[in-house]
A = this chain, B = another copy of it.
Amino acid sequence: MTQDGPTMSEGAVHRGRAASSGQPKSDTRAAGSGEASVVERRDEILEIAATLFAERGYRATSIRDIAERAGMKAGSLYYHITSKEALFVEIHDKALDAAAARVRAVIAGCRSPWERLEAACVEMLEIQLNPESLTLPIMNNFRSVPDEVKDALIRKRDEFERIFRDIIAALPLPSAIDRTIYRILLLRLLNTADEWYREGRLTRPEIAAQIVGIFRHEAG
């Protein structure tokens, strides 16, 4: 892609209920009335799209694919979304926020720096390898994303990675090790786990322990 994607012009003025707009009137409509509420429907679409983006990548996932999985026709999707790009950006931001929250939560209960690193690694593997929710492996492969959007995505990702910068800053590493490279390498492994992970033999915590084992060096 890089230069041929649609150009993401201005903000949406759709008739439908695209992205951010606060609740429509007061439509959260408690789950009493039998069927899924309006808000849930949109979240459902976000999850479906997230799963497909994660499985096949942005470019290889078509609007029609998403629509079909959501049980509707392609055109109908545009009642809920502004554009494919906007959909991706929204998912990406939500996924990173959720991931950040989860990682922050697990490291909060850790005393030593190495404990924190290992807990963060375990949690990252869970996040990347469990296609359960909206916390999905889509924080790389920026090549498949139009240029203008790319900047926003990278900014959000950098924000997320600051968590690891802090964890690593607290590690008692030998002075010969460059902490920036250290962080880049570690995050690359964690973020692309779904590409190199092979089911079987070792469990996820065991693999996380292997990673930390390799990255563990005490100053001396």
Contact partner, A196, options B57, B185, B202, Cβ 8 Å: B185
In the assembled complex, A24 has its CB within 8 A of some CB on chain B: no
Q: What CA separation (Å) do A192 and B196 show in the bound complex?
A: 11
Contact partner, A214, options B55, B57, B144, B214, Cβ 8 Å: B214
Q: Are B60's CB and A2's CB within 8 A?
A: yes
Residues from chain B with a CB closer than 8 A to the CB of A215 are 214
Number of copies: 2
Q: Are B195's CB and A140's CB within 8 A?
A: yes
Residues from chain B with a CB closer than 8 A to the CB of A60 are 1-2, 4, 59, 143-144
Nearest-Cβ distance from residue A88 to partner chain B, whole angstroms = 15
In the assembled complex, A213 has its CB within 8 A of some CB on chain B: yes
A196-B177 contact, Cβ under 8 Å, with A56-B1, A57-B143, A59-B59: no
Q: What CA separation (Å) do A211 and B217 show in the bound complex?
A: 13
In the assembled complex, A87 has its CB within 8 A of some CB on chain B: no
Q: Could you say which of A57, A140, A177, A202 has the most chain B C-beta atoms within 10 Å of its C-beta?
A: A57
Number of interface residues of A (CB under 8 A): 33
In the assembled complex, A79 has its CB within 8 A of some CB on chain B: no
Nearest-Cβ distance from residue A164 to partner chain B, whole angstroms = 14
Nearest-Cβ distance from residue A60 to partner chain B, whole angstroms = 5
In the assembled complex, A110 has its CB within 8 A of some CB on chain B: no
A177-B59 contact, Cβ under 8 Å, with A184-B196, A188-B192, A196-B188: no
Nearest 5 A/B pairs, CB to CB: A181-B210, A1-B60, A188-B196, A184-B196, A178-B210
B-contacting residues of A (Cβ < 8 Å)?
A: 1-2, 4, 55-57, 59-60, 140-141, 143-144, 176-178, 181-182, 184-185, 188-189, 192, 195-196, 198, 202, 207, 210-211, 213-215, 217
Q: List 24 A-B contacts (CB under 8 A).
A: A1-B56, A2-B55, A2-B56, A2-B60, A57-B59, A59-B60, A60-B144, A140-B195, A141-B141, A143-B195, A177-B210, A177-B213, A177-B214, A178-B202, A182-B210, A182-B214, A184-B196, A185-B210, A185-B214, A188-B189, A188-B192, A188-B195, A188-B196, A214-B217
